[in-house]
Amino acid sequence: MNKYSVLLMAIGVISLTACDSGPDSPRGFSLPEGDAVKGEQVLVKHQCLACHTLEGVSVETIEPELQLRVQLGGEATKVTTYAELVTSIINPSHKIAKGYMLDAITDSGMSKMRNYNDVMTVTELVDLVTYLQSKYKVKPYEYTPYGRYY
Ligand code: HEC
């Protein structure tokens, strides 16, 4: 299976889990635990800070792509759960961040956030989410353990 089909499956899982309860609930969804140090490198590689700010990371040398960069992390965001964090990255138009409406969306109401689904590997996504999670006050969740199958 190549990385694109894995990513498509991940997207499928998340789009199937869009609501709060029932078969569409995000309950039980989690990526394996990633490497936060590598996750920071993913953030740099994919130029996330062209449109975002992140506490403790300088954006001075990065050419801005939005007039008003959208804050990542902290409390003043729409992301409050792990599933929302992952969804924000792979399906950014699912919910649009509060307070950024005008600058954040296109005329057709879609997020201006770039689509990474064909350029980011699943490993990069896993590491990125592990890194970003520490910046958000998100609800705790269980990592999927890499156990043995009996
Ligand atoms: C071209 C601009 C652009 C780039 C590049 C970009 N984003 Fe975004 N992103 C946005 C905009 C605009 C929003 C707010 C609207 C929305 O929620 O989609 C957003 C929202 C988000 C949110 C939800 C914000 C919150 O906390 O409520 C997350 C998480 C996020 N982006 C992560 C990333 C990551 C990780 C990358 C790099 C892989 C990235 N973004 C690259 C424009 C961008």
User: What's the pLDDT score for residue 39?
Assistant: 97
Inside any domain, residue 27: no
Inside any domain, residue 8: yes
CATH number for 10: 1.10.760
Between residues 63 and 4, the one the model is more confident about: 63
User: What's the pLDDT score for residue 63?
Assistant: 93
- Ligand 1 contact, 82 CB (< 6 A): no
Inside any domain, residue 43: yes
Residue 61: domain span:
3-20+34-133
Please answer whether residues 142 and 85 qualify as being in contact, where contact means their C-beta atoms are separated by less than 8 angstroms: no
Please answer whether residues 66 and 92 qualify as being in contact, where contact means their C-beta atoms are separated by less than 8 angstroms: no
- Ligand 1 contact, 49 CB (< 6 A): no
Inside any domain, residue 77: yes
The number of folded domains in the chain is 1
- Ligand 1 contact, 129 CB (< 6 A): no
Inside any domain, residue 150: no
Inside any domain, residue 67: yes
Distance 149 CA to ligand 1 centre (A): 37
Inside any domain, residue 29: no
Q: What percent of the chain has pLDDT over 70?
A: 71
Q: Whose CA is nearest to atom 19 of ligand 1?
A: 113
Inside any domain, residue 143: no
Give the least confident one: 93-97, 122-126, 132-136.
Answer: 93-97
The pTM of this model reads 0.79
